[in-house]
Chain A
Amino acid sequence: MGGSIAAAVVKPAVRGAGRAADAALEGLLDSRLAGDVVERLAASPLAARAACGALQGPLVEAVAADLVRYRVADRLLSEGLLEQTTARVLEGEEFENVVQAALESPTVERLIGSAIESRLLDQAVVRLLESDDLWLIVDEIASSPAVTAAIAQQSASFADQVAGGVRSRSLSADAWVEQRARKAFRRRPAPPPGPRAG
C-alpha cells in the first residue's frame, strides 16, 4: 500500500523533472552561448588535438570495420543515396564552378600540354590506328545513312552549282547570239519576257 502511494507521488515528479530537463537542454542548445561555445571549441587547438588523436588511434580501423560489418555501403547504394548525391553534385553550380576553375587554371593547362607532348599519347595513337576495331568503327560510320546522305547532298549541291553556272552563262550567250543575229538581219531587238501569247 505504502509502495503504491510512493509510486503515485514519485513517478509524476520524475516525469515532470525529465520534461523540465529536456526543455532546459533544448533552450541551451538553441542559445547563442551554446553556438559560441561550440565554435570556440571547434576552432581551439584542443579540438585539433582531439581529432588528430582520434585519427591516429584505433578509431579509424574500428569505424572501417563497422562500416564493413554493418554493410553501410550496400545500404547506402540500395537506398539510392549515392545516385541522389551524384545527381545533386553534377547538377549543382558548385561542380560547374569547380570544373570551370580547373579548366582555367594554368596547372591544368600545363598538365594537358605535357600529356599531349608525351610519348604515351603517341603510342596510344599508334596502337589505336593499328587496331582493327578502329577501322570497323570507321567503316560503320562511313556507311551510316547519315554520312552517306550528307555526302550525297554535298555532291548534289556541287552538281547544282555547276549546272547553275552553265545555265547563267548559256542564257547570256543566248542573248548575245540573238542580238548579233537580229542586227545582221536588221530586225528590231528581242522584246522582254511578257505574258504567254496565244
Chain B
Amino acid sequence: MSLAANGAHAVIRPAHAVEATAAPVAYVGIVTRAIAFAADAAVIHFVAITVAGTFALILSVLSPPNKFDEAILVVGSAAYGLWLVGYFVVFWSATGQTLGNRLLQIRVSRAVDGMVPSPSAALLRFGGLIVAALPLFAGFLPILLDDRRRGAHDVLAGTVVVSAPPAEITAVRS
C-alpha cells in the first residue's frame, strides 16, 4: 500500500490499484443507480424526520415566542441542506459508497484511476446531480447511451459508477 497524492486530496492507494486499471470494469446502469439513490433518500429522510420530530417535541414543550419561528425554519432548513449535501459528499469522498451504494454493491470512483473522488469532486458531482435532475431528469439520459454509463454529473465531476463486490471493497480499503 502506498500513499498517492492527487491534487489537494490524498488517498490511500492500494497496491492492486495498478492491476485494477487493467481488470474488466462493470459500469452500473440507470436502474441500479436509481434504486441505490432511493435507498439513500429513504435513509436521509428517516434520519431527518426523526431529528426534526425530536426537535419539534422539544420546542413544543419550550414554547419559544412566535418571532423565532422564521429563525427556527431557516436553521432547520440549513441543517437539512447540510445533512443532505454532507451525506453524499462525505460518503463519496470517504469510501466511494453511500449506504444505498453499499446495498447495491456499487461504487463511485474517479474515471481516470478508479480511486475515490476528492471532496471537491464529490461536491461538484452532487451539484451536477441537482442540475441534471432539473430539466425533467434529462441530465441522466446519457447514462443510457454512454459507453461508460456516465450521466451529466459524472462527466462534470470526472467520475464513473462501477460494480463493487464486497471482496473488491475490502481490497480497496486495505
Chain A residues close to B by CB (< 8 Å): 163, 166-167, 170-171, 173-175, 177-178, 181-182, 185, 187, 190-191, 193-198
Check B144–A198 contact: CB distance below 8 A: no
Q: Taking chain A's interface residues, is the majority helix, strand, or loop, or is none over half, making it mixed? A: helix
Q: In the complex, how many residue pairs between chain A and chain B have their CB atoms under 8 Å apart?
A: 65
For B111, list chain A residues within 8 Å (CB).
197-198
Query: B110 — nearest CB in chain A belongs to which residue?
Result: A198
Chain B residues close to A by CB (< 8 Å): 20-32, 35, 103-105, 111-114, 141, 144-145, 147-149
For A178, list chain B residues within 8 Å (CB).
29-30, 144, 149
Check B29–A193 contact: CB distance below 8 A: no
How far is A53 from B30 in the complex, measured between Cα atoms in Å? 102
Q: Which of A177, A187, A194 contacts B31 (CB 8 A)?
A: A177
Q: Contacts A177-B30, A193-B25: A170 and B104 contacting too (C-beta < 8 A)? A: yes
How far is A191 from B114 in the complex, measured between Cα atoms in Å? 19
For B29, list chain A residues within 8 Å (CB).
171, 173-175, 177-178
Check A166–B35 contact: CB distance below 8 A: yes
For A187, list chain B residues within 8 Å (CB).
145
For A190, list chain B residues within 8 Å (CB).
147, 149
Query: A185 — nearest CB in chain B belongs to which residue?
Result: B145
How far is A171 from B34 in the complex, measured between Cα atoms in Å? 11
For A181, list chain B residues within 8 Å (CB).
141, 144-145
How far is A166 from B39 in the complex, measured between Cα atoms in Å? 12
Check A193–B32 contact: CB distance below 8 A: no
How far is A167 from B26 in the complex, measured between Cα atoms in Å? 13
For A195, list chain B residues within 8 Å (CB).
21-25
Query: B29 — nearest CB in chain A belongs to which residue?
Result: A174
Check B114–A174 contact: CB distance below 8 A: no
For A194, list chain B residues within 8 Å (CB).
24-25
Nearest chain B CB to A184 CB, angstrom units: 9
How far is A193 from B29 in the complex, measured between Cα atoms in Å? 12
Query: B26 — nearest CB in chain A belongs to which residue?
Result: A193
For B147, list chain A residues within 8 Å (CB).
190-191
For A166, list chain B residues within 8 Å (CB).
35, 103-104
Q: Can you list 28 A-B contacts with CB-CB less than 8 angstroms, sorted by A residue number? A: A163-B104, A163-B105, A166-B35, A171-B29, A171-B32, A173-B29, A174-B28, A174-B29, A174-B31, A174-B32, A175-B29, A177-B30, A177-B31, A178-B30, A181-B141, A182-B145, A190-B147, A191-B147, A193-B27, A194-B25, A195-B22, A195-B24, A195-B25, A196-B25, A196-B114, A197-B148, A198-B111, A198-B113
